Amino acid sequence: MTMEHSIEYLQLLAKSFPSIAAASTEIINLEAILNLPKGTEHFVTDIHGEYDAFDYVLRSASGVIQQKIEAVFGDELSVEEKRSLSALISYPEAKLRVLKAGNDNLDEWYKVTLMQLIAVLTRVSSRYTRSKVRKALPKDYAYIIEELMHETRGTFLSKHNYIKAIVDTIVSTGRASHFITAIADVTRNLVIDQLHIIGDIYDRGPGAHRIMDMLCSYRDFDIQWGNHDVVWMGAASGSAACVANVVRNSLKYSDMSTLEDGYGINLLPLATFAMETYSDDECLLFNPVKSDDTPADAPPTRLMSQMHKAIAIIQFKIEAAVIARHPEFRMEHRNLLDKMDLKRGVVSIDGHEYRLLDTNFPTIDPKDPYRLTSAEQNVIDRLVHSFTNSKALSRHMECLFAHGSLYLVHNNNLLYHGSVPLNEDGSFASLMIQGVEYKGRELFDTIEKLVRTAYFSTDNDEFKEYGKDLFWYLWCGPVSPPFDKQRMATFERYFIAEKETHEEKKGNYYRLKNRRDVCEMILAEFGITDMEHAHIINGHIPVKAASGESPIKADGRLLVIDGGFSKVYHETTGIAGYTLIYNSHGMRLVRHHPFESIQQSVAEGMDVIAATQVVEYTDKQILVRDTDKGKRLMARVEELRALLQAYRTGLIRN
């Protein structure tokens, strides 16, 4: 930055730092921050509505809290005591209830535990400035907690009576439980510096709305949209095709909680229509997938199955209209209603005939199979109205847009949910969008611009309508970055027994991603040039750990961290998810056991961490100056040094 070209900017900067002293102080502060260890980043993906498991992963920081306790106390505490302390930090209110019930000397326990918690918090906060820690402290207790932390750093012996008096008073005034909860909350907040969610918060599990509530009030996070997220975003934007898919998925997995309790979606019109239309149909092919999470008061299976079938047929009809509007999507393979011969009970696919498992389609006119009946049109219109007018859904979608994107480049890592679509030869595959072909990074950027327009635009113009259809394509399209499979075999899985028709052949990316040169080509496409410590981090396709598949691919350039949070994947993966942890010493991958219950974690101090695998380790500690944040701070330091020079040469008066 030269003085001649920056004088106007320096004059603006001088308003914030109006003296040599002010500018110098800020330089000192920033240089101090630059030499702190980098904050800890946590990466998780494919949560699929599993609120309790995800909540535990955050509360335990994927085992990091236990590591901090181990570092502070070592053999000073027993294994049981360390587990109990970890559970207390993770679930303070619940653990306190258990401990109070079985403790005859509660006051003494409070005093010991308060000091143990302060010791852990002191360890956790050592990588941050006192200013950042101070801001994280609860307002009511900030001074006392900070005083305890400061005085226990090395002056405890000389101020023993001072510390003892503070702790004794906390206990005698009946505030010990409040202090313990406050210290535990701060500790959890500081353990994770930044949270990355690499897609698919929605569908399958019952708690996506609760996860979004948690995230929208979280301190520092980002989301890379998955195909299960974008279909909900499309539904909220008013896409009838996306609405039908969301409702069908929810019925398939018995997830009425998210629709009705979370977002107030009115399913009565669909239920009424389904009962009338399929009154003599058991709809056995549409029985919902039951799980341990299915509420006891869930609607009867038959009604759920009837609703499931009704919305599936409506979906197929609506999708045909989208496909007709966009031949460039090349999605004609999803149009199978007109390929059915109901008299013979068969459907023709790719030149082969398959027997249909169900031929009861009272709303399908063989002469015009994709025409919605007036009753079906009424159902979908009312559902679209319910989605677009849900305040809770709107709040969560705006959070997804504000903190989310299709991809993120952060600290030399490229994050996206599914893939970067590729041709068979490894070159970037293109998608025709409004008459122009896009590929690589440009494809991602163009898609994101259009879907943001579709959601936020108040004009019902061609751009908004195109964006709504594009949301649906992102859910199930062949060159969709969050999906990237040749087809989504929805009809086939419902109505055809032959397994070969159920196959959803993955895009070329999933074959080529094991090659280092391909991954480095993708990294370069997104602006990453330093390949020594660069990584692609994505999810979408569960890693079959039980079969020996490794999440680390392409000589470490690619990390696939979908380990199967959703319970429906546990049998396939053999585990219950991954967390990738990136701290000042490098990267490690944590494998999770299935989460049983909060009660078990609180009572027994159970841990879901199955194993930890080092992905990358460095002897030289990574500092803030080595991160993207550090680059921004160093640029700020240079600007401030230029301002100092301007003050000292009289170019700007202070």
Taking only the tens place, the pLDDT of each residue in 591-604 is 887 777 777 777 66
Which residue, 166, 531, 428, 470, is CA-closest to 328? 470
Residue 347 in any domain: the answer is yes
pLDDT at 526: 98
Give the pLDDT confidence score for residue 153 in this predicted structure: 52
Helices (H), 326-390: 374-388
Could you tell me if 381 and 417 lie in one domain? Answer: yes
Rounded Cα gap, residues 298 and 271, in angstroms: 13
pLDDT at 19 exceeding the cut of 90: yes
Q: Are residues 138 and 242 in the same domain?
A: no
> What pLDDT does residue 414 have?
98
Nearest Cα to Cα of residue 539 among 50, 200, 53: 200
Cα 375-371-234 angle, rounded to 5 deg: 80
Q: Which two tokens stand for residue 127?
A: 């990588």
Residue 430 and residue 292 share a domain: yes
Give the three-state DSSP class for 198: coil
pLDDT digit string, tens, across residues 180-208:
999 999 999 999 999 999 999 999 889 99
Average pLDDT over residues 331-355: 96
> What mean pLDDT is predicted for residues 297-323?
91
Is residue 538 assigned to a domain?
Answer: no
Mean pLDDT over the full length of the chain: 91
pLDDT grade, residue 293 (50/70/90)?
Answer: low
Mean pLDDT of all residues in 40-45: 95
Which of 523, 565, 528, 522 minimizes the C-alpha distance to 543? 565
**pLDDT of residue 110 exceeding 70:** yes
Residue 345 CA to residue 358 CA, distance in Å, equals 8
- Residues contacting 339, CB < 8 A, separation 6+: 347, 348, 349
Task: Please state, for a pLDDT cut of 90, what percent of the chain lies above it.
Answer: 73
CA-wise closest residue to 591 among 605, 607, 602: 607
Indicate whether this model's pTM tops 0.85. yes
Q: Is the pLDDT of residue 139 over 80?
A: yes
* Residue 172, in any domain of the structure: yes
Pairing mode of beta strands 558-560, 404-405: unpaired
Strand partners, 348: 353
Element containing residue 544 per DSSP (H, E): none
Would you state the structure tokens that stand for residue 60, as one six-digit string? 């335990």
pLDDT class for 366, splitting at 50, 70, 90? very high
- Same domain? 150 vs 214: no
Single-letter code of the amino acid located at 533: H
pLDDT, mean of residues 143-163: 72
Does residue 185 belong to any structural domain of this protein?
yes
Note the pLDDT of residue 296: 56
Q: Is the pLDDT of residue 179 over 90?
A: yes
Q: Is residue 218 part of a domain?
A: yes
Examine the domain organization and report whether 85 and 28 are in the same domain.
no
| In a shared domain, residues 289 and 422 | yes
pLDDT in tens, 588-647: 998 887 777 777 777 666 666 667 888 888 889 999 999 999 999 999 999 999 999 999
Place of tokens 């207790």: 141
Residues 408 and 263 in one domain: yes
Residue 47, helix vs strand vs coil: coil
Q: Is the confidence at residue 150, as pLDDT, over 60?
A: yes
Is 230 found in the same domain as 184?
no
| Domain termination residue (choose one: 458, 490, 522) | 490
Q: Are strands 586-592 and 578-583 parallel, antiparallel or unpaired?
A: antiparallel
Whether residue 44 lies inside any domain: the answer is no
Task: Average the pLDDT over 357-367 and give the result.
Answer: 96
pLDDT band (50, 70, 90) for residue 129? confident
Instruction: Please tell me the predicted confidence (pLDDT) of residue 152.
Output: 58
Same domain, 316 and 455: yes
Non-local CB neighbours of 102 within 8 Å, separated by 6+ positions? none
Query: Is residue 638 domain-resident?
Result: yes
Q: What are the pLDDT digits (tens) for 238-260?
A: 999 999 999 999 999 988 899 99
224 CB neighbour count, 10 Å cutoff: 27
351 and 218 within one domain: yes
Dist. CA 41–CA 587, nearest whole Å: 9
**Phi-psi category of residue 204: left, alpha or beta, with phi > 0 → left and psi -120 to 50 → alpha:** left
Q: Is residue 323 domain-shared with residue 431, that is, in the same domain? A: yes
Same-domain status, 225 and 373: yes
Would residue 267 count as lying in a domain? Answer: yes
Q: Where are the beta strands (DSSP E) in 239-285?
A: none
**What confidence score (pLDDT) does residue 2 get?**
54
The answer to whether residue 564 scores a pLDDT higher than 80 is no
Task: Give the C-alpha separation, 618 to 532, whole Å.
Answer: 12
- Mean pLDDT to the nearest integer, 282-304: 76
Tens-digit pLDDT profile for residues 415-471: 999 999 999 999 999 999 999 999 999 999 999 999 999 999 888 788 899 999 999
Indicate whether 130 pLDDT > 70: yes
Domain range for 112: 63-191
- Residue-wise pLDDT for 317-337, tens only, equals 999 999 999 999 999 999 999
Residues in a beta bridge with 553: 558
Which pLDDT band holds residue 534 (cuts at 50, 70, 90)?
very high
Q: How many independent structural domains does the chain possess?
A: 3
Least confident of 104-108, 308-312, 492-496: 104-108
Residue type (1 letter), 537 = I
Residue that is last in its domain, among 455, 490, 525: 490
